[in-house]
């Protein structure tokens, strides 16, 4: 767990917008400013000032206390996020790639960045926030990946987009998501004609309230656009 704490601390320290990155991690852990301030013994306004970059960039001591507090509070609340990090440490790179954003973005902006076409649930684009994406080789994940690795698809947080490559109709990825206890915020089907998306996939997407999006942008361009966030 120490390695993960160092990764989070490093991301905050190296971020061009450390306040937004601190806020992102607090939100990922589901911790309020009030809870965090109480645990650290400081005022809520101090937390707000750091997140709004109204104080100078936090030093290593502040970042260390902040990261440790996130995990301590999570453990006190049952350790749900901490457990997800433990699961993430399993080797999964041959099946998928996980990328975390330095800040949250609206799903609508995500769709625009990948030249996406929204197939279902367009009403959710404005309200959903995205914290990252997972690029998934649908054939390897569905046929070869051990089921115990599935939770690792979510990286640090469920509020992310799954981008499935190697799809023909979109049915298999949606069926997999349907039977999973965790759900992504949206699903992207890569290199597929929206008119050819399987009707069952569309029905599952609508029932689960998970926006379904299609894009023909090359994976290289998709990654180049998204990895700048």
Residues 77 and 100 grouped into a single domain: no
The whole-number pLDDT of residue 89 equals 61
Roughly how many angstroms between the first and final C-alpha of the chain, as a whole number?
25
- Given 60, 85, 110, which residue is the final one in a domain? 85
* Among candidate residues 25, 50, 85, the one where a domain is terminated: 85
With a cut of 70, say whether residue 174 has pLDDT above it: yes
Residues 137 and 36 in one domain: no
Whether residue 136 sits in one domain with residue 75: no
Instruction: Look at the block and give the residue holding tokens 């806020």.
Output: 23
pLDDT of residue 91: 60
User: Between helices 60-76 and 18-28, what is the axis angle to 10°?
Assistant: 10
CB 127 within 8 A of CB 141: no
Which of 57 and 161 is assigned the larger pLDDT?
161
**pLDDT tens for each residue of 125-150:** 999 999 999 999 998 888 888 776 77
Q: Is residue 184 domain-shared with residue 198, that is, in the same domain?
A: yes
- Same domain for 112 and 13: no
**Residue given tokens 């997972």 in the structure block:** 134
195-204 per-position pLDDT tens digit: 999 999 999 9
Q: Dump pLDDT digits (tens) for 70-108.
A: 999 999 999 989 887 876 665 667 789 999 998 999 999
Same domain for 202 and 114: yes
Same domain, yes or no, for 143 and 37?
no
- pLDDT digits 0-9 by tens, 30-56: 999 999 999 999 999 999 999 999 988
Residues 39 and 78 in one domain: yes
Same domain, 110 and 150: yes
- Overall average pLDDT of the 155-179 stretch: 91
Distance CA 37, CA 60 (A): 18
Range of the domain at 151: 91-226
β-strand partners of 161 = 133, 186
> What is the domain-level CATH number for residue 175?
3.40.1390.20
CATH assignment of the domain containing 73: 1.10.260.40
Dist CA 216 CA 116 (whole Å)? 8
> In the chain, how many domains are there?
2
Of 37, 67, 85, which residue sits at a domain end? 85
My answer on whether 97 and 62 are in the same domain is no
What integer best gives the mean pLDDT of the chain? 92
Percent pLDDT > 70 in the chain is 97
Task: Print the SS3 string covering the chain.
Answer: CHHHHHHHHHHHHHCCCHHHHHHHHHHHCCCCHHHHHHHHCCCHHHHHHHHCCCCCCCCHHHHHHHHHHHHHHHHHCCCHHHHHHHHHCCCCCCCEEEEEEEEEEEHHHHHHHCCCEECCCHHHCCCCEEEEEEEEEHHHHHHCCCHHHHHHHHCCCCCCEEEEECCCCCHHHHHHHHCCCCCCCEEEEECCCHHHCCHHHHHHHHHHCCCEEEECCCHHHHHHHHCCC
Global model pTM greater than 0.85: no
């Amino acid at each position: 767990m120490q390695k993960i704490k160092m990764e989070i601390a490093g991301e905050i320290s190296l971020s061009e917008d450390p306040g937004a990155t601190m806020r992102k991690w607090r939100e990922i852990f589901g911790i309020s400013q009030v809870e965090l301030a109480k645990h650290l013994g400081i005022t809520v306004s101090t937390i707000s000032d750091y997140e709004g970059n109204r104080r100078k960039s936090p030093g290593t001591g502040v970042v260390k206390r902040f990261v440790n507090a996130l995990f301590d509070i999570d453990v006190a609340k049952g350790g749900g996020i901490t457990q997800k990090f433990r699961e993430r440490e399993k080797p999964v790179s041959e099946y998928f790639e996980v990328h975390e954003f330095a800040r949250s973005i609206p799903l609508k902006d995500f769709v625009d960045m990948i030249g996406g076409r929204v197939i279902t649930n367009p009403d959710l684009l404005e309200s959903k926030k995205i914290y990252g994406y997972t690029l998934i080789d649908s054939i390897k994940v569905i046929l070869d990946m051990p089921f115990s690795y599935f939770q690792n698809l979510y990286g640090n947080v469920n509020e992310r987009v799954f981008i499935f490559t190697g799809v023909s109709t979109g049915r298999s990825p949606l069926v997999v998501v349907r039977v999973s206890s965790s759900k992504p915020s949206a699903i992207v089907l890569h290199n597929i004609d929206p008119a050819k998306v399987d009707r069952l996939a569309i029905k599952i997407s609508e029932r689960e309230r998970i926006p379904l999006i299609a894009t023909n942008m090359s994976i290289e361009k998709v990654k180049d656009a998204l990895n700048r966030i």
